[in-house]
Amino acid sequence: MSSENLAIETVGQHACCGGSLRVLKHPSEVLGVPATFSIFLPKEALAGQKVPVIHVLAGLTANHETFLIKSNAIRFAAEHGIALVAPDTSPRDTGTPGENDAYDLGSGAGFYVDATAEPWSRHYRMESYIHRELPALTEKLFPLDGDRRGIMGHSMGGMGTLVQALRYPEFWKSVSAFAPICHPSVIPWGQKAFDAYFGGDPSKWRDCDPTLLLRNGHKHPATILVDQGLQDQYLSDLRADALVEAAKESGQSLEMRHHDVYDHSYWFIQSFIADHLTHHAKGLKA
């Protein structure tokens, strides 16, 4: 084992649904601090077989555990023989001034972007972490098939999912989201975060806004599945309408499902998670 691997610490390990849920802490080169993530390995992976993998990105205030313990995803991942990787929602304890001052900026609110403005640019580089470091690390450590890699997310993590999928369509083969922030540039959450993380650089704003990415010609070859509750308390900030419009104009295949009585919570995610795993299983030939 290399010295790099020795620095990786397993801080939790639990049998679950015939497989194994593990929590790992590693020195992140991209983030410049130790980072924690969870991984679910189905029994096939424990037996050494290469399995497809879905990275799951959670929303504001969540951490590496939230999506996996609350979504019901694991039981369906186990059924399909798919691994799940759940990163944290930001770097932690970086010493960046103000990082713990608000729920929607800094800790728990990395927005899956690479900050370019001070004081955030040193550590807040979740886009590169999600795209470069975490897949490479997990695929080195575990029998995950990098050719069958999907991405899924909720809210802020739904935004991160769509941005990753549209920017790196060869890298992520299947895509789905629950109640994603679809057009961050025009709503308070996104404007606050982008202003802090990018300052005035409009090219960065464009690159991290799913609706603008679609308008600017980015596409994903697969159908993107999105579930949106119509009783979502953040409905007007999420702007599913803008995503639908942009997808229509650009020819992006998008299955946008609206659900009458559902809100923004994990109770909503629990209700439709099985369909998402089926969607990814199909896309990843699991």
- Whether residue 71 contacts residue 176, with contact meaning beta carbons closer than 8 Å, is answered with no
CA 2 to each of CA 8, 97, 150, 278: distance values in angstroms, whole numbers, following the listed order: 10, 35, 28, 37
- CA neighbor of 258 nearest in space, from 280, 240, 246: 240
Among 2, 15, 217, 236, binds its own copies (CB under 8 A): 15
Which residue among 20, 71, 90, 155 is the active-site one? Answer: 155
Q: Which of residues 235-264 bind its own copies (CB under 8 A)?
A: 259-263
The verdict on 18 binding its own copies (CB under 8 A) reads yes
Question: For this structure, is 232 an active site residue?
Answer: yes
Q: Dig out the tokens for 148 from the structure.
A: 């069958």
Q: How far is the CB of 42 from its own copies (least distance, A)?
A: 12
Q: How far is the CB of 263 from its own copies (least distance, A)?
A: 6
Q: How far is the CB of 153 from its own copies (least distance, A)?
A: 19
Alpha helices of 40-155 — where are they, by DSSP H?
43-46, 66-70, 73-80, 126-128, 134-141
Which residue among 26, 264, 276, 279 is the active-site one? Answer: 264
Query: At residue 53, what is the residue type?
Result: V
Q: Which residues contact 207 (CB under 8 A, 6 or more apart)?
A: 163, 167, 213
Among 249, 270, 282, 285, binds its own copies (CB under 8 A): 270
Q: Which of residues 58-97 bind its own copies (CB under 8 A)?
A: 69-70, 72, 74-75
Q: Report the residue number, 78 or 162, with the smaller CB distance to its own copies.
A: 78
Contact residues for its own copies, defined by CB under 8 A: 14-18, 21, 69-70, 72, 74-75, 229, 231, 259-263, 265-268, 270-271
